[in-house]
Structure 1
Amino acid sequence: MKEAKQLELIANHNRKRIIEMVYRAGVGHVGGALSVIDLLTAIYENEVDFNEEDRTRVVLSKGHAVPAVYAELAEKKIIDESLFPTFRQVNSHLQGHPYTCDIPQVDATTGLLGQGFSMALGMAVVKKREGSKYKVYALAGDGEMQEGQMWEALMAAAHYKLDNLVYIIDYNKLSSGHPTNEVINLEPIRDKMAAFRYHVVEIDGHNMEQILLALEEAKHVKEMPTVIIANTTKGKGISFMENVPKWHSSGLTDEEYEIAMKDLNVREEVLLRGV
């Protein structure tokens, strides 16, 4: 199991991969990928063993944030970084949404918002019936919570007492063009999840120690699913991207690429000094 400081360095490296991928391809949902990368890094590094047939499953319901998954799979040497410039290109293995046929380590083909969590629900039901010791992690966007299918799945998971299901909300509070809660207000989200009979944990989704504690806490919950409300920042780690709606989906200019990489190199130096 990797500790918080190790994971912070890996997550920072993964941010570089995300920037590299979107810059080389000229397109990509960069903001949401940067908001979830700390969470995905912790889960993939500490909870997933791809060598096991019956293993932990990870469903990225907000499939457009897939550069974060590709970055971590590159860290795991499952995909080669030389493929990054082909991201979202015709016939590329790195499609703009997760696609299981090209990369078997991707656990669900997602893209239509609201459907990924239902897939995770199905996986958790099967694992529960088969007596598997492994969990299913489903990571969804806050804007995705405005889909009716999400609430049907949330009710079903609680009804079946799926304590092997961990639902993570990437609560970056920005949809594709407007603040999430101005489109449809989710608040009070914590109270709503508790009313649905979820074990609720609320964290800073960029604080690795809090992430690890939340994942550990979820392992000990019985007779109900867990929801982790992860308060995040869209575009986290890049000075000119944070909380700017434009970076929901956009390519980078040469100048923007250089600034982004400088930001991340400075962050790496800070992390290394603290190790």
Structure 2
Amino acid sequence: MTTDIDELKSIASQVRRDIVRMVHGCQSGHPGGSLGCTDYLVALYFSAMNHDSEFNMDGIGEDLFFLSNGHISPVFYSVLAHAGYFDKAELATFRKLGTRLQGHPTTHEHLPGVRIASGSLGQGLSVAIGAAQAKKLNKDASLVFTLHGDGELQEGQIWEAAMYAPHNKIDNLIAAVDVNGQQIDGSTKNVLSLGDLHAKWTAFGWDVLETQGNNMEFLLSTLAEAKSRTGQGKPIVILLHTEMGYGVDFMMGSHKWHGVAPNDAQLAQALGQLEETLGDY
């Protein structure tokens, strides 16, 4: 665990290299959102969250993380590997026959670090609330973290969970939303406008924070602030303003890279923009 900004940025650069190589290797997957959420997951797993790479599904005495927008599995797998959950060489098997690294995370593959099968959008917040309630009942002071896409907020189950958590004072929960304004069919504004997310979450009774999701300094500060606000009767949500495809210039800001793999030339171009810092798998 570290608060060294340069070290965290170094890890993030390697994770981004892993993402584009993994998706290229099987010519399938979701690079855009994975690249955009890299900084948040690196900040979470290498600085903010108390977790154990000797994975135990019960998670007693440690913070838990639930990835709700499971299609960004490339970033999740890379971060887990670099955090010591499994050998990073296994990243080369992403989306291939017989792999534990399915396109969407699954529990029956028994991959360390994966607590729920995700990819059917809208479900992760409900699961996390249940886990957070269990921790409170068990007198476990640890926290529960989640990550969601902004397009995922178009799912009704999110808002059922959003009502339930404040009503039951689930104040050991820190949810995050990747607000990149893009989804598979276009911009969220054009597909189904989300309106004022800060006002919406506030109206539902949540403690709302906003930050630049591709700025490591801001992320560490915001996560520290979020943790300081736990235990005060309200669940917390962080609106992460990110850019889809962040770190690879031709992928940035476009929904077209939501679920498209780079070809050989595009891979070389992307890798030329991302420093190899921890060694490629």
TM-score bracket relative to the smaller structure: over 0.9
Match in the other structure for 1:126: 134
Unaligned runs of 5+ in 2: none
Matches of 1:134 and 1:209 in 2, distance apart? 24
Which of 150, 155, 160 is the aligned partner of 1:147?
Answer: 155
Paired amino acid for 1:188: D
Contact 2:32 2:257 in 1 (8 A): yes
TM-score normalised to the size of structure 1?
0.93
Measured in 2, the distance between the counterparts of 1:127 and 1:173 equals: 33
1:157 equivalent to 2:158? Answer no
Does 1:193 pair with 2:201?
A: yes
8 A Cα contact 2:154 2:192, kept in partner: yes
Question: Residue deviations 1:81-139, cap 9 Å, x none?
Answer: 33333211232110011122321321221110001111111111111111211111110
Runs of 4+ in 1 over 6 A off after TM superposition: none
Unaligned runs of 5+ in 1: 269-275
How far apart, in 2, do the equivalents of 1:226 and 1:140 lie?
A: 13
1:2-49 alpha-carbon deviations (Å, 9 max, x no partner):
122221111111111111111112111110111111111111112132
For 2:141 and 2:119, locate their aligned partners in 1 and report how far apart those are by CA, in whole Å: 28
Cα-Cα RMSD: 1.5
What is aligned with 1:271? none
Higher helix share: 1
Deviation per residue, 1:132-184 (Å, 9 max, x gap): 11111110000000000000001101111111101100001001021012211
SS at match of 1:38: helix
- Cα contact 1:24–1:84 (8 A) shared by 2: no
* 1:209 paired residue among 217, 222, 233: 217
Match of 2:70 in 1: 63
The aligned length equals 267
Write the distance in 1 (CA, Å) between the matches of 2:128 and 2:60: 17
Aligned with residue 48 of structure 1, among 40, 47, 50: 50
Percentage of pairs with the same residue: 38
Check conservation: 1:26, 1:252, Cα contact below 8 A.
yes
With normalisation by structure 2, the TM-score equals 0.91
Kindly indicate whether the alpha-carbon contact (under 8 Å) linking 2:185 and 2:191 is maintained by their aligned counterparts in 1.
Answer: no
